[in-house]
Amino acid sequence: MSGPVGEAAPVEVLDCRGQRCPLPVIKLARRLPELPVGAVLRVLADDPAAAVDIPAWCRMRGQEFVAAHDEGPGYDVRRAG
């Protein structure tokens, strides 16, 4: 699946493939606050739990989950604040 037209391209890709949850979420939580507000970070993670846990982390932390991509699989997160 791909995101909507006009979706911001990720400024950075975090490759967490081969890592088991919660590691991809921890890497995301470390890196996203270092990016400017509005920037999109793509997390590549092949642990199936990431598909659940990255959107859940965004909800708990008030960050914006933008889209999931089959390739990677990848998860785009925008720093909302």
What strand order describes the sheet that includes 64-69?
Answer: 12-15, 40-44, 74-78, 64-69
75 binds another protein (CB under 8 A): no
CB of 58 to another protein, least distance (A): 11
Query: How far is C-alpha 61 from the geometric centre of its chain's CA atoms?
Result: 13
Nearer to another protein (CB atom), residue 8 or residue 29: 29
- Check if 21 is active-site: yes
67 binds another protein (CB under 8 A): no
56 binds another protein (CB under 8 A): yes
Q: Give the Cα separation of 71 and 57 in Å (integer).
A: 21
Judged by DSSP in three states, 22 sits in coil
Residues that bind another protein (CB under 8 A): 20-22, 25-26, 29-30, 47-49, 51-53, 55-57, 60
